[in-house]
Amino acid sequence: MEGTAFAGYLFPTRLGQAWNAGMLVLMLSVQSSLTMAYVDTDKVRWSSPEQAIQSEFSAGFTTESRVAALAVMVESAKLRRELLTDRNTSTLAPSFPCPPAGSGLEDSGRHVIEVHHYLRHKIWADNFDFCRGSFGLWTKGAGVESPLRAATIATAVGLKPGQLVLDVGSGCGNYAQWYYEWFGARTIGLDYTEEAVKFAQESVAGAAPAQFCWMDISGYLGDWLPSRSIDLAVSFGVFYYLRVDVGRFEAGPEPMPGEGFANATRTPCDRLAATHLTQCRVAREMFRVVRELGYVWIGHLGSYKGKWDPKRVWGKNYWPCCFREELLRQEVSLREVPESKLFASHIDWDPTYSLILKRLS
Per the CB < 8 A criterion, the answer to whether 174 and 151 are in contact is no
Of the candidates 173, 157, 182, which has an alpha carbon nearest to the alpha carbon of residue 71?
182
In a domain, 127, yes or no: yes
Strand-by-strand arrangement of the 230-236 sheet: 210-214, 186-191, 164-168, 230-236, 290-301, 353-359, 332-338
Q: For position 199, what pLDDT does the model report?
A: 93
Question: At 11, is the pLDDT very low, low, confident or very high (cuts 50, 70, 90)?
Answer: very low
Gap between the Cα atoms of 56 and 305, Å rounded:
23
Q: Each residue of 234-286: pLDDT tens digit?
A: 999 899 889 999 988 887 665 454 455 666 789 999 999 999 999 999 999 99
* CA dihedral over 111, 251, 253, 217, signed as positive or negative: negative
> What are the helix and strand counts (H, E) for the chain?
12, 9
Per the CB < 8 A criterion, the answer to whether 288 and 345 are in contact is no
Three-class DSSP category at 93: coil
What is the biggest distance separating any 2 CA atoms in the chain, rounded to whole angstroms? 73
Q: For position 177, what pLDDT does the model report?
A: 95
Q: Each residue of 70-105: pLDDT tens digit?
A: 999 999 999 999 999 999 999 999 999 999 999 998
Gap between the Cα atoms of 275 and 359, Å rounded:
22
pTM of the model: 0.83
Q: For position 39, what pLDDT does the model report?
A: 41
On the question of pLDDT at 288 being above 50, the answer is yes
Q: Which residues contact 306 (CB under 8 A, 6 or more apart)?
A: 251, 312, 350, 351
In a domain, 29, yes or no: no
In a domain, 16, yes or no: no
Question: At 15, is the pLDDT very low, low, confident or very high (cuts 50, 70, 90)?
Answer: very low
On the question of pLDDT at 158 being above 90, the answer is yes
CATH, residue 321: 3.40.50.150
Q: For position 21, what pLDDT does the model report?
A: 45
Gap between the Cα atoms of 2 and 43, Å rounded:
49
What DSSP character marks residue 268?
A: P
On the question of pLDDT at 5 being above 80, the answer is no
On the question of pLDDT at 215 being above 70, the answer is yes
Lowest-pLDDT choice from 52-66, 149-163, 196-210: 52-66
What is the domain extent for residue 121? 70-248+263-359
In a domain, 60, yes or no: no
Three-class DSSP category at 21: helix
Lowest-pLDDT choice from 11-20, 141-150, 170-179, 323-332: 11-20
On the question of pLDDT at 110 being above 70, the answer is yes
Torsion angle of C-alpha atoms 304, 297, 124, 115, degrees rounded to 10: -70
In a domain, 39, yes or no: no
**Residue 359: other Cβ atoms inside 10 A:** 18
Lowest-pLDDT choice from 37-41, 71-75, 171-175, 237-241: 37-41
In a domain, 84, yes or no: yes
Q: For position 185, what pLDDT does the model report?
A: 98
Amino acid at 213: C
In a domain, 140, yes or no: yes
In a domain, 104, yes or no: yes
Q: For position 9, what pLDDT does the model report?
A: 40
Q: Each residue of 327-344: pLDDT tens digit?
A: 999 999 999 999 887 887
Amino acid at 153: I
Per the structure, how many domains does the chain have? Answer: 1
Lowest-pLDDT choice from 19-23, 70-74, 172-176, 257-261: 19-23
Q: For position 289, what pLDDT does the model report?
A: 97
CA atoms within 13 A on the CB side of 24: 8
Helix axes 194-203, 112-128, angle to 10 degrees: 40
How high does pLDDT run on average in the chain? 82
Gap between the Cα atoms of 334 and 172, Å rounded:
29
